[in-house]
A and B are shown apart, each in its own frame.
Chain A
Amino acid sequence: MSGTQAGEGGNSKVKRFMIVNRKAPYGTIYALEALEVVLIGAAFDQDVSLVFADDGVYQLKKGQQTKDIGQKNFSPTYRALGDYDVEKLYVERESLQARGLAPEDLLVPVRVLGSTELSVLMEEQDVVLSF
């Protein structure tokens, strides 16, 4: 696999970035930091995809109300990712099932993939950042 991958516009500087989210929101800062990295990567026209696995799937749970914990509810920002041309959102099926969640419980449309399919996708990336 070559270090760089030609993007849609033939721009050889476009790399494939995958952000792997494995932490629940609010308890730690990881989820918010990962989202910032996604927005920055997208603003620089990189090919960005997101994976939600383990407790990371909880980041996408509908109905988050953070008023009483004094933290910003950043969950609506996942719905803006389409505007940033970030459309590859993958959720690991095993993680979703272990938490009794279904795609309807999530606030954005996602592709649900099994671990094997996800591991193949990970191998195809230029950069994988884990949060």
Chain B
Amino acid sequence: MTASVALKDKEVAVDEEGYLVNLADWNEDVARTMAADDGIALTDNHWEVINFLREYYAEYQVAPAIRVLTKAIGKKLGPEKGNSKYLYELFPYGPAKQACRYAGLPKPTGCI
């Protein structure tokens, strides 16, 4: 099954759950477009999490599970952001799953 996200100038391929097929296709427009398709306008707070995930993936080659993400965000950005309430408000479809999708990462291992 093939699907894609339509950007201004091109289409990028995504899998049946909406994750990028080629991680190299990612740019900020991809994230904005995916979010807009979900009815979300990305704010600085969203970007903070998205950029964190991209850095985490570059370092460890793995998309962190929700528990790991929450803990790691808390360590880096403080406890007021490292909790599931804050993250669920930003990413109501599930912080790890949804934010990883916008960040161009694979679906986190262990998420169902």
Contacts and interface: CB of A to CB of B under 8 A. Distances in A.
A44 B60 contact: no
Nearest to B64: A83
Interface in B78-112: 108-111
Contacts of B111: 43
What bracket does the count of chain A residues touching chain B fall in? 10 to 19
A44 B110 contact: yes
Nearest to A74: B61
Given A39-B109, A42-B110, A43-B111, A72 B61 contact: yes
What bracket does the count of chain B residues touching chain A fall in? 10 to 19
Contacts of A79: 59-60
Contacts of B60: 76-77, 79-80, 83
Interface in A10-52: 36, 39-40, 42-45
B61 A77 contact: yes
A contacts with B: majority SS:
helix
Interface of B: 56, 59-62, 64-68, 71-72, 108-111
Given A39-B110, A44-B110, A80-B62, 15 more contacts: A39-B62, A40-B110, A42-B110, A43-B67, A43-B109, A43-B111, A45-B67, A72-B61, A74-B62, A76-B62, A79-B59, A79-B60, A83-B60, A83-B72, A84-B68
